[in-house]
């Protein structure tokens, strides 16, 4: 029995996500002990849903960062799809068509980012720094800087209701994040596509010399990032039953932070989709826990930053432990 | 040698033109004719869009070119750059929403020194050279909100409990004034008022933040949002959680009024943003074209408290732009015929 148990623990220790799991566990334990309502079912579901607001973006960002790129426009794409779809629904476009067009628009924004980066030979961080403003500006123009309510017909449609409801008490956006997390993990770690994304991020020259078509992967990953942002915009629209041009503001930072906290290398070459989901959960747990503790506005920002650093430090230490034992 | 002479000639030709170009840029239209007025907002959202509409309607009514602009993200450095650009573009007068007031003293001083009259809207810049301020007393609006909420709570027999307050932008002076006024209005009661929680200005996080806030409070009797996006999100949280607490907040956007009509939210405070756009433009046009002395002091655009009892009287004008224009035309004729006569000293906390 003992050797099997030991190998089980070793396997757990070798998991990329062990460190971030420990950090999340430490935070959950802390808030469970210091607040009365943190561990309640309603609160935990709320935390998971709040994490899913930017969780999809974070998981797609894993692919982008692993490739060695950065996409700063995801929050703006989310807003653009959110309000554009709301406007389309208000104008009477059928719900399924509007949602499909919204998703396609998100993917198109991502493709445009990739194409600009490839054609102009500019790093994606610069391209998306510009398109971040362009897409946000388009969202403001389309919405006239005003929230857009959905009409009764759209609100009652089967598609929007299914995207905004709960399944066995689990919000649809959390279900979407779970499904995306599993798919994303399989694609990144178990497919040729994922391996090549990691190879490109690890060593661009070597990847090029080995015949990998860098341009195709760049376009594909940026399109994926845009599509994920579009999906996030649609889920926000379905849940809040209104489009809002402020949607997604600063979400690019949350997405990058979640991915990095979850173990994705900022320099490219490796990443963890489940880690990004856990990173998003860590950020949501901190926001939720500090409010439950009664920490008001001015102190919450200081403590939030400190807790993020602490969470990353726990992850780092846990990863270092097995190396020291050797 | 030839290349050097050739290079020198364009410079010699252009050099004297530069002062002329600068002077041309500084010339402003005065007297009869289509005046060019600038209006710089502090950001772009549904609230400031109403200010913009008021300003543009004034331009149309008074035959003036009104250019309204503002930074998308409420970044004051960008707003200052836009203000300075307006001055460079030769606007005859500029109205501005100077948020936060302290950083606008110098830019407004420079514009005034260049002979451009400046007035402020919505918020003001105490100690600046701006002649007039068109807005509401934010502290007093908080007092009125508190009094109305308190009367509703007392009517429901809820004499004590927790009142959670949220701010979408902690540190913003306007919101701090609202909170101070609300606290003042609650003095003498047995309600426990929280310090403002950071509920963020991003819509999805605002919803999530309010979920967290209402979960955190024992004996919650009311939730109060200081920004325009709060009531719509609070209403959704309340419906989905089955909460019984009351909702109070600010501004008259359609979702907020729908929540009041449905009884989900109880009270909101409006500040006539349409007038905050219209009246400054009118004051500038009257001064520049008709030679009237520029209004000095504070023109109180008014504060309106909206509850279920009177929501229907404001609903039509808030959902229909034409109805809004008609209503305010009548309201201006009745209440704002003579701006100079209405000007009063700045409220205590707005004095330099």
- Where are the domains positioned within chain B? 30-136+272-302+320-350, 138-270
CATH of domain B138-270: 3.40.50.2300
Q: pLDDT band for A307, please (50, 70, 90 cuts).
A: confident
Q: What is the pLDDT of residue B6?
A: 43
For residue A93, what are its two tokens? Answer: 């476009």
Q: Which residues from B are below 8 Å from A35, CB to CB?
A: 216
Is there a contact between A145 and B44 if contact means CB atoms under 8 Å apart?
A: yes
Q: Does A301 touch chain B (CB under 8 A)?
A: yes
Band of residue B198 on the pLDDT scale cut at 50, 70, 90: very high
Interface of A with B in 54-113 (CB under 8 A): none
Tell me the pairing of strands A242-243 and A148-149: antiparallel
Read off the pLDDT of residues B119-157 as tens digits, 9 standing for 90 and up.
999 999 988 999 999 999 999 999 999 999 999 999 999
Per-residue pLDDT at A4? 45
Check: CB of residue A277 under 8 Å from CB of residue A262. yes
CB contact under 8 A, B45 and A298: no
pLDDT interval class at A302 (50, 70, 90): confident
Q: Which two tokens stand for residue B115?
A: 């002979």
Assign A313 to helix, strand or coil. Answer: helix
A-chain CB neighbours of B203 within 8 Å are: 147, 236, 240, 244, 246-247
Q: Are B83 and B112 in contact (CB under 8 A)?
A: no
Query: Does the beta carbon of A13 lie under 8 angstroms from any beta carbon of chain B?
Result: no
Q: Which residues of B touch A291 (CB under 8 A)?
A: 197, 209, 212-213, 215-216
Class of the domain covering A19-321 = mainly alpha
The pLDDT score that the predictor gives to residue A317 is 81
B214 with B207: CB under 8 angstroms?
no
Q: How large is the ipTM?
A: 0.85
Hey, is the C-beta of B100 within 8 angstroms of any chain A C-beta? no
pTM to 2 decimal places? 0.86
Inspect the interface and report whether the beta carbons of B216 and A149 lie closer than 8 Å: no
Residue pair B77/B100 in contact by the 8 Å Cβ criterion: no
Strands (DSSP E) found in chain A: 148-149, 166-167, 170-171, 242-243
pLDDT of residue B17: 46
pLDDT tens, position by position, A1-22: 444 444 555 555 556 788 899 9
A145 touches B at CB < 8 Å: yes
CB spacing of B216 vs A146 below 8 angstroms: no
Least CB–CB distance from B72: residue in A140, A239, A292? A140
CB-based contact A37 B216, cutoff 8 Å: yes
- Separation in Å, CA of A325 to nearest CA in chain B: 42
pLDDT at B292 over 60: yes
The answer to whether A165 faces chain B, any CB pair under 8 Å, is no
Measured between beta carbons, which residues in chain A are less than 8 angstroms from residue B196? 296-297
Please give the residue of chain A at the shortest CA–CA distance from B241. Answer: A42
Q: Where are the domains of chain A?
A: 19-321
> Are the beta carbons of A294 and B167 separated by less than 8 Å?
no
B171 at the A interface (CB within 8 A)?
A: yes
Q: Which residues contact B178 (CB under 8 A, 6 or more apart)?
A: B138, B139, B141, B142, B145, B226, B250
**pLDDT at residue A28 above 50?**
yes
Considering only CB atoms, A145 lies closest to which of B46, B216, B229, namely: B46
DSSP B292: P
Where does B30-136+272-302+320-350 sit in CATH, by number? 3.40.50.2300
H or E element at residue B68? strand B64-69
Residues 6+ apart with CB under 8 A from B151: none
Structure tokens at B4: 């050097």
Residues of A whose CB is below 8 A from B197: 291, 296-297, 300
| Closest residue to B205, CB basis, from A35, A53, A147 | A53
Share of chain B above pLDDT 70, in %: 89
Give the model confidence (pLDDT) of A195-209 as tens digits.
999 999 999 999 999
The torsion region of residue A130 among left (phi > 0), alpha (psi -120 to 50) and beta comes to alpha
Contacts across the A-B interface (CB distance below 8 Å): 107
Strand pairing report for B64-69 and B93-96: unpaired
Chain A residue with the nearest C-alpha to that of B254: A149
Q: For B80-113, how does the pLDDT look when each residue is reduced to its tens digit (9 = 90+)?
A: 999 999 999 899 999 999 999 989 999 999 999 9
Question: Minimal Cα–Cα distance from B329 to chain A, Å?
Answer: 23
Task: Find which of B204, B213, B232 to mutate to test the A interface (most A CBs within 10 Å of its CB).
Answer: B204
For B212, the closest of A147, A251, A288 (CB atoms) is A288
Rounded CA separation B280/B329 (Å): 15
Kindly state whether A297 is in contact with chain B, defined as any CB-CB distance less than 8 angstroms.
yes
Cα separation, B144 vs B167, in Å, equals 18
The torsion angles phi and psi of B249, rounded to 5 degrees, stand at 180, -150
The minimal CB distance from A296 to the residues B197, B232, B253 is found for B197
């Amino acid at each position: 029995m003992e050797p099997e148990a030991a190998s089980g623990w070793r396997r757990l220790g070798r998991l990329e996500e062990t460190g971030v799991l420990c950090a999340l566990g430490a935070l959950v334990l802390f808030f469970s002990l210091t607040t009365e309502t943190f561990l309640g079912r309603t609160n935990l579901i709320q935390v998971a849903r709040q994490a899913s607001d930017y969780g999809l973006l974070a998981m797609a960002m894993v692919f982008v960062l692993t490739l060695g790129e950065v996409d700063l426009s995801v929050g703006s794409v989310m807003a653009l799809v959110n309000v554009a779809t709301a406007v389309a629904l208000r104008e009477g476009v059928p719900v399924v068509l509007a949602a499909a067009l919204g998703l396609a628009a998100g993917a198109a924004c991502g493709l445009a980012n990739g194409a600009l980066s490839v054609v102009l030979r500019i790093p994606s961080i610069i391209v998306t720094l510009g398109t971040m403003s362009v897409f946000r500006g388009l969202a403001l123009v389309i919405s006239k800087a005003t929230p857009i309510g959905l009409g009764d017909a759209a609100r009652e449609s089967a598609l929007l209701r299914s995207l905004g409801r709960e399944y066995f008490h689990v919000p649809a956006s959390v279900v979407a994040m779970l499904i995306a997390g599993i798919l994303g993990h399989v694609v990144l770690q178990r497919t040729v596509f994922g391996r090549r994304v990691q190879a490109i991020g690890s060593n661009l020259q070597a990847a090029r010399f080995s015949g990998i078509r860098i341009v195709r992967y760049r376009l594909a990953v940026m399109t994926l990032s845009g599509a994920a942002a579009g999906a996030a915009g649609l889920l926000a629209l379905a849940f809040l039953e209104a489009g809002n041009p402020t949607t997604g503001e600063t979400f690019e930072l949350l997405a990058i932070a979640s991915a990095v906290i979850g173990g994705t290398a900022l320099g490219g070459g490796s990443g963890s989709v489940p880690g990004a989901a856990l990173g998003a959960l860590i950020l949501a747990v901190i926001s939720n826990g500090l409010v439950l503790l009664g920490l008001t506005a001015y102190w919450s920002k200081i403590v939030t930053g400190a807790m993020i650093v602490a969470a990353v430090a726990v992850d780092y230490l846990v990863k270092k432990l097995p190396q020291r034992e050797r | 040698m030839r290349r050097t002479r050739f290079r020198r000639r364009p410079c010699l030709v252009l050099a004297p033109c530069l002062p002329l170009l600068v002077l041309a840029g500084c010339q402003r239209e005065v007297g009869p004719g289509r005046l060019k007025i600038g209006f710089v907002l502090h950001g772009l959202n549904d609230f400031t869009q109403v200010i913009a509409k008021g300003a543009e309607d004034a331009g149309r009514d008074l035959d003036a070119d009104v250019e309204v602009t503002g930074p998308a993200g409420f970044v004051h450095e960008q707003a200052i750059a836009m203000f300075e650009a307006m001055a460079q573009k030769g606007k005859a007068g500029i109205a501005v929403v100077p948020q936060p007031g302290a950083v606008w003293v110098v830019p407004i001083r420079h514009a005034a020194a260049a002979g451009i009259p400046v007035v402020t809207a919505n918020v003001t810049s105490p100690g600046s050279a701006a002649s007039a301020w068109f807005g509401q007393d934010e502290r007093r609006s908080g007092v009125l909100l508190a009094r109305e909420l308190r009367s509703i709570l007392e009517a429901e027999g809820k004499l004590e409990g927790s009142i959670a307050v949220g701010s979408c932008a902690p540190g913003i002076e306007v919101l701090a004034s609202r909170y101070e006024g609300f606290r003042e209005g609650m003095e003498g009661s047995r309600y426990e008022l929280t310090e403002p929680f950071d509920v963020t200005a991003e819509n999805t996080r605002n919803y999530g933040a309010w979920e967290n806030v209402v979960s955190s409070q024992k004996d919650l009797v009311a939730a109060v949002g200081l920004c325009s996006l709060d009531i719509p999100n609070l209403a959704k949280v309340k419906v989905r959680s089955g909460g019984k607490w009351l909702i109070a907040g600010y501004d008259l956007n359609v979702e907020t009024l729908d929540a009041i009509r449905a009884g989900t939210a109880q009270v909101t405070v409006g500040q006539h943003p349409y007038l905050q756009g219209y009246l400054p433009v009118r004051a500038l046009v009257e001064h520049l074209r008709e030679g009237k002395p520029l209004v000095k002091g504070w023109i109180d655009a008014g504060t309106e408290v909206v509850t279920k009892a009177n929501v229907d009287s404001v609903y039509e004008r808030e959902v229909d732009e034409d109805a809004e224009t008609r209503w305010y035309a009548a309201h201006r004729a009745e209440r704002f015929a003579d701006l100079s006569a209405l000007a009063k000293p700045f409220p205590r906390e707005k004095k330099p």
